[in-house]
């Protein structure tokens, strides 16, 4: 395999957790709720997967655990920001702090233990003769395929169905949606919970593919990169795919250059994704300075029926 193909495979592997988390973030923010707890949710998803997988050796149960735990945390965030109208920024920060502390606490007993298995891969042997596509798509794991499917489903859902219309209406103008008979609170609760579940799945994917063992704080800011990617992708699932793989490639490029014996110290290579996130967001801000950014209009504003602003 040549370098480019290898890099593409690595970009997809490293990009899949970012993609899942970004999709979760997009659902949250399209409904008008800021989700800054992605880092904590990913850690909680990762640690619950590890614990259940090591205890039961059942991958399905492990994935279910990660989704279940993060759904509960998503409900907490929804309750705080929708019902209590609390500060969504602070609620997200609390989620991240609690998630990183609680996951370290829970994961102490299994820290460093190898997981009993990996994600099953789909071997599509009929693709093998095709030069670039064969090696890349012939051997991907199920969560990656799930993420592909999710991109398509979410794209169609958001842009082509009445559910998506309701979702966008709730994020852009909840008062109008409410007048039109859309149940604002129910929809927000639903998407915040589902979004949190996707972010939890991202954490699960991270331990199952990138680093097959639990370590304290193993996401190392990937959750925050996903928060940035939501903006970078302009709340669009298809763009999210491209952006996530771009960052996946950056991530693995640093690692690969280290393997090839590059003269640059590895610490600087590891900085690349963080610095690029900032630079890209600055570029987008500069380019879109006189244009609407695509942000859901009511993002972060609690909706109170009959309240005038």
Tell me how far, at minimum, the Cβ of 34 lies from other proteins, in Å.
9
* Smallest separation (angstroms) from other proteins to the CB of 224: 5
Of 155 and 256, which CB lies nearer to other proteins in the complex structure?
A: 256
**Minimum CB distance to other proteins, residue 287 (Å):** 10
Min. distance of Cβ 100 from other proteins in angstroms?
Answer: 6
Query: Which CB sits closer to other proteins, 144 or 277?
Result: 277
Residue 126 or 286: the one with the smaller Cβ distance to other proteins is: 286
Which residues make up the interface to other proteins (CB under 8 A)? 36, 40, 76, 80, 83-87, 89-91, 93-102, 104-105, 108, 185, 216, 220-221, 224-225, 227-228, 231, 265, 267-268, 270-271, 274-275, 277-278, 281-283, 285-286, 289, 293, 304-307
CA angle 78, 152, 183 (to 5 degrees): 35
Count of beta carbons in the 10 Å neighbourhood of residue 127: 14
Q: How far is the CB of 278 from other proteins (least distance, A)?
A: 5
Cβ 111 to other proteins shortest distance, Å? 9
Least distance to other proteins, CB of residue 83, Å: 6
3-state SS string over the chain?
A: CCHHHHHHHHHHHHHHHHHHHHHHHHHHHHCCCCCCCHHHHHHHHHHHHHHHHHHHCCHHHHHHHHHHHHHHHHHHHHHHHHHCCCCHHHHHHHHHHHHHHHHHHHHHHHCCCECCCCCCEEECHHHCCCCCHHHHHCEEEHHHHHHHHHHHHHHHHHHHCHHHHHHHHHHHCHHHHHHCCCCHHHHHHHHHHHHHHHHHHHHHHHHHHHCCECCCCCCCCHHHHHHHHHHHCCCCHHHHHHHHHHHHHHHHHHHHHHHCCCCCCHHHHHHHHHHHHHHHHHHHHHHCCCCCCCCCCCCCCCCCCCCCC
Shortest distance, CB of residue 149 to other proteins, whole angstroms? 28
| 221 CB-near residues (< 8 Å, 6+ apart) | 39, 274
How far is CA 140 from each of CA 2, 12, 68, rounded to the nearest angstrom? Answer: 18, 9, 25
Question: In the complex with other proteins, which residue's Cβ is closer, 84 or 152?
Answer: 84
Q: Are 143 and 201 in contact (CB under 8 A)?
A: yes
């Amino acid at each position: 395999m040549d370098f480019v193909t290898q890099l593409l495979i690595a970009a997809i592997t490293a990009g899949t957790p970012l993609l899942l988390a970004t999709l979760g973030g997009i659902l949250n923010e399209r409904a008008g709720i800021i989700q800054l707890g992605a880092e904590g949710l990913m850690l909680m998803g990762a640690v619950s997967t590890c614990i259940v997988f090591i205890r039961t050796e059942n991958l399905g149960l492990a994935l279910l655990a990660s989704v279940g735990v993060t759904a509960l945390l998503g409900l907490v965030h929804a309750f705080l920001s929708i019902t209590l109208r609390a500060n969504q920024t602070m609620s997200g920060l609390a989620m991240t702090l609690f998630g990183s502390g609680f996951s370290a606490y829970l994961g102490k007993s299994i820290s460093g233990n190898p997981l009993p298995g990996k994600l099953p891969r789909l071997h599509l042997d009929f693709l093998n003769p095709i030069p670039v596509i064969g090696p890349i798509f012939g051997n991907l794991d199920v969560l990656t395929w799930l993420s592909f499917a999710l991109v398509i489903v979410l794209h169609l859902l958001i842009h082509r169905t009445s559910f998506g219309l309701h979702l966008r209406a709730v994020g852009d103008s909840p008062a109008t949606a409410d007048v039109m008979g859309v149940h604002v609170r129910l929809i927000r609760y639903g998407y915040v919970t589902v979004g949190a579940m996707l972010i939890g799945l991202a954490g699960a994917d991270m331990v199952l593919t990138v680093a097959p063992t639990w370590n304290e704080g193993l996401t190392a800011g990937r959750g925050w990169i996903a928060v940035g990617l939501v903006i970078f992708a302009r709340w669009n699932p298809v763009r999210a795919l491209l952006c996530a793989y771009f960052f996946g490639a950056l991530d693995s490029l640093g690692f690969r250059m280290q393997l090839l014996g590059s003269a640059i110290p590895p610490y600087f290579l590891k900085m690349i994704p963080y610095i690029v996130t900032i630079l890209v967001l600055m570029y987008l801000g500069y380019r879109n300075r006189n244009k609407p950014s695509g942000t859901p209009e009511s993002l972060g504003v609690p909706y109170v029926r009959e309240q005038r602003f």
